[in-house]
Amino acid sequence: MDKIYVLLFTVFPYLCLTTFVVGHAFRYVTDRFNWNARSSEFLEKKSLFYGAVLFHWGIVFTFFGHAGGMLIPQRYLDLLGITAEIHIFVAFWSGLAVGLAAFLGALLLLWRRLTNPRIQAAGTLNDIVTVSALVLVTGAGIYNVIFSHYNVLYTIAPWIRGIVFFAPDPYLMIEVPVSYKIHVIGALALLGFSPFSRLIHIWSAPFSYAVRRYLVFRKLPGKVSDEI
Ligand code: HEM
């Protein structure tokens, strides 16, 4: 097997994943004042609303779909009565819904970045590269769902589990169509690039918002003394 090919499906994933983990930790410690999503909402709201809502809901559910669908071996799902046919059926329709949302959202965000003069003036090349990479990865993913009906359960899925258990088998990826290879390599590269971009904010999901105490901005009548 070609050496480049072996490196791409054994070494490259660990390079990206290590950069992802170490890079985010390093940046969190050394660059705390720049740790944010660099919101551009005050410059333009409307297309950001549609783009960001579509993209974020799409990408978060896509993540859970990938994790559940790829990391659990089919033989365990068979025990629960979820056959490969059912698995593929559910993966197709749910992947179509959330993948399309992520792709269309990313496309709208890219269009906004490239056409709105205020966003262009305040944005950076890094922002355009980040959103373009998201369009490429989600675009390849949705292309695979719609046009390339390839069974990933016995090829890409065990390869990914091999990565998780530190025993990747590059032979599993040999027969995989090129559009899937672009999707996988692109997604890994994006993970490696993440610490150098605004994607750092994925670690700052405001979960505590749902359970935190109310912030009271006015005095409750009769409860707080006027002298305070
Ligand atoms: C974990 C939960 C997440 C939260 C709470 C979150 C929150 C946010 C917020 C507040 C913004 C700024 C929007 C604005 O300009 O006002 C943003 C932008 C963005 N987010 Fe997220 N995000 C999350 C996950 C993700 C993930 C998983 C990705 C991609 C893999 C992502 C990619 C982006 C991108 C590319 C932008 C910039 C859009 C643009 O301005 O062109 N986010 N996010």
Decide if 58 is inside a domain: yes
Rg of the chain over Cα atoms, rounded to whole angstroms, equals 21
pLDDT band, residue 224 (cuts 50/70/90): low
Domain containing residue 97: 3-202
Q: Which residues are annotated as a binding site for heme b?
A: 56, 66, 183, 201
The answer to whether residue 226 is domain-embedded is no
pLDDT surpassing 60 at residue 228: no
Residue 227 lies in a domain: no
Residue 111 CB coordination number (10 Å): 14
Q: Tell me how many domains the chain contains.
A: 1
pLDDT of residue 223: 62
pLDDT tens profile 59-79: 999 999 999 999 999 999 999
For Cα atoms 37, 109, 187, give the angle at the middle one, nearest 5 degrees.
75
In 3D space, the residue among 221, 216, 187, 212 whose CA is nearest the CA of residue 70 turns out to be: 187
CA distances for 123 relative to 35, 119, 129, angstroms: 16, 6, 11
Q: How far apart are alpha carbons 72 and 97 in whole angstroms?
A: 21
Nearest CA to ligand 1 atom 39: 109
27 lines ligand 1 (CB under 6 A): no
Q: Is residue 100 part of a domain?
A: yes
Confidence of residue 91 (pLDDT cuts 50, 70, 90): very high
CB of 48 closer than 6 angstroms to any ligand 1 atom: yes
Ligand 1 pocket, 54 CB below 6 A?
Answer: no
Cα–Cα dist 190/205, whole Å: 19
Spatial CB neighbours of 187, under 8 Å, sequence gap ≥ 6: 137
**Residue 157 CA, ligand 1 centroid: distance in Å:** 27
pLDDT band at 209 (very low <50, low <70, confident <90, very high): confident
Instruction: Give the CATH number of the domain where residue 157 resides.
Output: 1.20.950.20
